[in-house]
Chains A and B, each alone.
Chain A
């Protein structure tokens, strides 16, 4: 009798049933052309491995939304800010995006980390949903996509700036690179750094890498110490940096550390044991020491709201929302075309500096080089855009 089992039927019945339930729920919240509110979608990882970066970015975004709504909204309409968690996962991000798109958002603020952002950017561009990513630094996210913009600078740009700084300001000749195998961010910065450094005649004396789950870097660091590197580039986020920096001094590495914006937060991570990163330099979007009123207002408002210091991620999220507001106001409408054309020609002055967009929708703005001294982030130089 067993050969009569026939399974697919169940699959179909169940999938039909379940997805049909889902579709009902979706329909009841069907799109009504914007009534009294401006529907803005937001994507960020709020659970999972990279939740910490998503949460701090979202804090900045929500602060901006709160301020805008308190001040009367955009063109008199309140912002309805719909947040979806994407768990730091590409598949989840596209699910969350399609859900937001179904709810009729006029624009999307997000995503946070590069890989999911890239997946979402493809879809948003197809659907002509204007999208501003605060922190997605990978080059391909905006390249060739009419509807996608970003507030942060790209990985290659940071790598290039780091190489320029190492050559011109630090005047070193031997550099070493230590990268994370599994991180496109790390690889992207390192690649551009290496190209530019070699173009400038610097010698790359060591090129090492580690796995995402590694905690022991002694082999790589001992090797780097052995070849006498004067500068060590470590492109990664601050949790890993804290781990690497503490082991580097033990392994006898006395090169100057430099790195990209992922370093912002390393001092807080090290909790008092900051002498290991003393003298390190990194590129950042703004400096908390900046005395400009806009920056200080943001920092104070953020501290009042969340009782902690904002990171660069928060500042970028905050700027992304304000940039969208300005674009809708200048475009005079919440139509996709109006927002996109207003964004393309925008002159935006935010917490992370004044910016315009180039042809690939990457921001043209100045880079702050931050130096860590006695556990403080001090502004070292500001490199103007070229």
Chain B
């Protein structure tokens, strides 16, 4: 048991580092600007989808205002970058991102405490309403640039950095959700009343998951602001939230691997199939309906990609039967 654990940790770490180095090498040598642009976009969508997966998949509550939290993060980071307090660069990015997260988490707690006392459908509608309120307010105030939006945000063009940040973000969310706090959240998804009866503070756990989700939506927002250098409130609308939701649903609600794979797929495939663009939304909507009817758990369900399983498989193939099967 212990050996397997150790083996899989080392193996995973080596794999991650090797792949990171490989992608970085490719992105700096072979990739053109277009591919790097896509790479960063993939990173942003992966973070968004994994973050939404925490609320929709792990907590089991539908959340239609994810783009609203992303816009909060994007505007907070964008305003900080524009303020010129720090020189543009990775340091400024990190500080801006922390500010963005703090803003999003505070708002998520304020919204979440009352909203999460409500049951599923009401939460969906209240998050939707909330996303709209954020948009109206951003357009209303002058310091956010109103309808003109924010432009000329100092840009940070550094795809390997975004990639590293994405990996770290996934790692943090994954670790949290497999920890004690995370399992409480999963318990609520399975049966809220039973968890309540077990003495779990359900409201607290729900707000925790909701805030975690908002926090990483803000990270994605900050990445977006720094990568694009231009923001407008209108782009973070209901449809954007739905796009992210499609990614989570398609991949499998509750599966990190699923969210990641479908976020990558749903960002890259439409790019490769640009000429069929006008059919994209029809296909998306049909996919939502059909998946819910025939495979409501999503394509991957709750399965995860596990290095330990592979090691187990390989070692058992080699006839080393002393591996501990628990």
Seen from chain A, the residues whose Cβ lies within 8 Å of a Cβ on chain B are 1-16, 18-23, 25-27, 46-47, 84-85, 87, 89-91, 94-95, 98-99, 101-102, 115, 118-119, 122, 127, 138, 140, 180-184, 186-188, 211-212
Contacts and interface: CB of A to CB of B under 8 A. Distances in A.
Contacts of A89: 235
A138 B147 CA distance: 12
6 contacts: A7-B304, A9-B16, A23-B30, A23-B32, A90-B228, A122-B155
A336 B310 CA distance: 54
Given A6-B12, A102-B33, 5 more contacts: A6-B306, A7-B260, A22-B271, A47-B278, A98-B33
Contacts of B268: 18-19, 22
Given A23-B26, A99-B34, A119-B229, A14 B261 contact: yes
A15 B151 CA distance: 30
A23 B25 CA distance: 13
A139 to B, nearest CB: 9
A280 to B, nearest CB: 23
B3 interface: no
Interface string B272-305: 1010011000000000000000000000000011
Contact of B34 (A9, A102, A183): A102
Given A19-B268, A90-B235, A187-B148, A7 B305 contact: yes
Contacts of B9: 4
A269 to B, nearest CB: 22
Contact of A16 (B22, B36, B146): B22
Contact of B306 (A5, A8, A47, A181): A5
B195 interface: no
Interface of B: 4-5, 8-9, 12, 15-16, 19-20, 22-23, 26, 30-39, 41-42, 46, 136, 139-140, 146-149, 151-152, 155, 166-167, 170-171, 174, 178, 224, 228-230, 232-235, 256-257, 260-261, 264-265, 268, 271-272, 274, 277-278, 304-309, 326
B257 A7 contact: yes
Contact of B12 (A9, A18, A27, A85): A9
A95 B171 contact: no
Nearest to B18: A12
* Residue of A9, A23, A118 with most chain B CB atoms under a 10 A cut-off: A9
Contact of B326 (A1, A91, A180, A187): A1
B80 to A, nearest CB: 19
Shortest 10 CB-CB contacts between residues of A and residues of B: A4-B308, A12-B19, A98-B34, A6-B12, A5-B304, A10-B305, A102-B32, A102-B34, A11-B260, A184-B148
A188 B306 CA distance: 54
A184 B34 contact: no
Given A90-B232, A181-B147, A184-B149, A16 B37 contact: no
A8 B234 contact: no
A99 B4 CA distance: 45
Contact of A5 (B148, B174, B260, B272): B174
Contact of A7 (B23, B36, B152, B174): B174
A118 B151 CA distance: 8
A188 B170 contact: no
**Most chain A CB neighbours (cut-off 10 Å) among B4, B20, B224, B235:** B235
A381 B305 CA distance: 70
B39 A19 contact: yes
A168 to B, nearest CB: 28
B228 A94 contact: yes
A8 B228 contact: no
Nearest to B168: A8
B147 A20 contact: no
A89 B234 CA distance: 10
A12 B167 contact: yes
A211 B232 CA distance: 15
Contacts of A101: 33-34
A180 B234 CA distance: 12
B198 to A, nearest CB: 20
